Amino acid sequence: MDHKPIVHIPELLNQIDGLNIPQTLQLLAIRFPGQVTFSTSFSFEDQVIAHDILDNNIDISIFTLDTGRMFPETYSVWTSTNDKYSTRIKAYYPDRQLLEKYLDTKGPNAFYESVDNRKECCHIRKVEPLKRALKGNAVWVTGLRGEHSKDRQNLQLLEWDEGNQVIKYNPLLHWTTEEVRKYIDDNNIPYNILHDKGFVSIGCAPCTRAIKPGEDFRAGRWWWEDSSKKECGLHETSSVAAKS
């Protein structure tokens, strides 16, 4: 395999044409044995993908980023997922020294005080652990959807993540919210009950609220900030979409 799997994207696009998601995941797992991983936040979207991986016994590792500030309901669906599929989803945690320095110098809720503080908190709790989780992998499977935000409408099914040096596969990119919810219901998949209470994008508890009728999908995340800044850094790295 070439050092940079970006060279495989045009070929992969041809190979997955006409395949469903489980078939595509299986193809990737065979093409990059032991080097395909899926990051889950236990959202509606991520539960769909986890089901496809675990119910079909596809050799893809699954991990989550436990920031230490998640909702109790998120831990509940994590437990339910482990129990339903007889698995143990691996967790990556913030670097203790980085987190302790941040808390000692700025305090536990400094992210409300400035965008820079919030992004630093996100970097410590999410971005740095993600780097460790993706190390050694060739493909990163995500639950990103075009409906999430205007920026995400420009994503491609397969693209090269330059910052993390992996191929990103976004299987639900073109799914609607209704399709995601129907799949959850039809397959009796465990989900975060906060979704039934107006929460659509669920992250850390201090930085997430339910959205109001008519509000944008991302309005419940970092609601005190300008809408143009509403990313945590996980998906802000430079990506290149390869065409077949």
- What are 103-152's pLDDT values in tens digits? 999 999 999 999 999 999 999 999 999 999 999 999 999 999 988 766 66
pLDDT over 60 (residue 204): yes
> What's the pLDDT score for residue 3?
54
The reported pLDDT for the residue numbered 217 is 78
Biggest CA pair distance of the chain: 53
pLDDT at 2 over 60: no
Point out the residues that are catalytic.
232
Length of the chain: 244
Q: What is the pLDDT of residue 243?
A: 37
Indicate the pLDDT class of residue 202, thresholds 50, 70 and 90: very high
Pairing of strands 61-65, 36-39: parallel
Give the whole-angstrom CA distance, residue 89 versus residue 112: 31
Alpha-carbon distance of 177 to 172, in angstroms, equals 10
Q: CB within 8 A of 199, min separation 6: which ones?
A: 192, 208, 209, 210, 211, 220
Strands 158-161 and 166-169: antiparallel
Residue 136 tokens, joined: 């050694």
Contact 118, 127 (CB under 8 A): no
Least Cα distance to 62 among 42, 83, 33 occurs for 42
- Condensed to tens digits (0 to 9), the pLDDT of residues 60-107 reads 999 999 999 999 999 999 999 999 999 999 999 999 999 999 999 999
- Comparing C-alpha atoms, which of 134, 133, 141 is closest to residue 27? 141
Confidence of residue 234 (pLDDT cuts 50, 70, 90): low
Domains and CATH numbers, the chain: 5-226 (3.40.50.620)
Q: Return d(Cα 63, Cα 224) in angstroms, integer.
A: 29
What tens digit of pLDDT does each residue of 165-200 get?
999 999 999 999 999 999 999 999 999 999 999 998
Tokens standing for residue 11: 């070929």
pLDDT at 235: 53
Higher pLDDT, 236 or 93: 93
C-alpha 79/C-alpha 169 separation (Å) is 26
pLDDT of residue 238 exceeding 50: no
If we measure between CA atoms, which residue out of 12, 81, 18 comes closest to residue 52? 81
How many Å apart are CA 183 and CA 180, to the nearest integer? 5
**pTM as predicted:** 0.89
Q: Is 18 left (phi over 0), alpha (psi -120 to 50) or beta?
A: left
Residue 157 pLDDT exceeds 90: yes
